[in-house]
């Protein structure tokens, strides 16, 4: 199952506040999904981390923005790992909810930017 990440080719600018917030939330979703799908046997390996790296590369983030995005991804990963150490019905349900939210958010980000492309 692939998450349709929509990303821009142009660098973020001062007017892109909501876009930047969207990227931050998408990073959190990817971090959580990276853990949840792993514990629930999806065998995705580094898929979600790699999608995060692709997102940062395509968005052409500045070094400080890149650090913020990475921090959001890692914080969400560790939070999910603490809350869901094992796969439970709740963990699987949360993974599905996050996947759907991430898909909707990626589509929204793409629709807000004419220069957006789908990586997946």
9 vs 91, residue with greater confidence: 91
Confidence category of residue 118, pLDDT binned at 50, 70, 90: low
Tokens of 20: 């930047």
Spatial separation of the C-alpha atoms in residues 73 and 79, rounded to whole Å: 10
Residues 6+ apart with CB under 8 A from 1: 42, 99
Average pLDDT over residues 91-95: 96
Confidence category of residue 15, pLDDT binned at 50, 70, 90: very low
Bridge partner list, 8: 116
What confidence tens digit (pLDDT) does each residue in 34-71 have? 999 999 988 888 888 998 888 888 777 889 999 999 99
Burial of 74 (0-12, 13-18, 19+ CB in 10 A): middle
Segment holding 117, helix H or strand E: strand 116-118
| pLDDT > 90? residue 90 | yes
Confidence category of residue 4, pLDDT binned at 50, 70, 90: very low
Helix or strand or coil: residue 7?
Answer: strand
Q: Note the pLDDT of residue 114.
A: 56
Confidence category of residue 18, pLDDT binned at 50, 70, 90: confident
């Amino acid at each position: 199952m692939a998450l349709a990440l929509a990303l821009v080719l142009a660098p973020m600018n001062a007017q892109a506040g909501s876009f930047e917030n969207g990227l931050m939330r998408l990073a959190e979703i990817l971090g959580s999904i990276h853990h949840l799908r792993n514990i629930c046997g999806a065998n995705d390996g580094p898929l979600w981390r790699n999608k995060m790296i692709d997102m940062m590369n395509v968005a052409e983030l500045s070094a400080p923005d890149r650090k913020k995005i990475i921090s959001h991804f890692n914080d969400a990963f560790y939070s999910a790992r603490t809350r869901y150490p094992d796969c439970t019905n709740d963990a699987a349900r949360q993974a599905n909810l996050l996947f759907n939210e991430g898909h909707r958010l990626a589509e929204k980000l793409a629709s807000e930017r004419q220069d957006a492309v789908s990586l997946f």
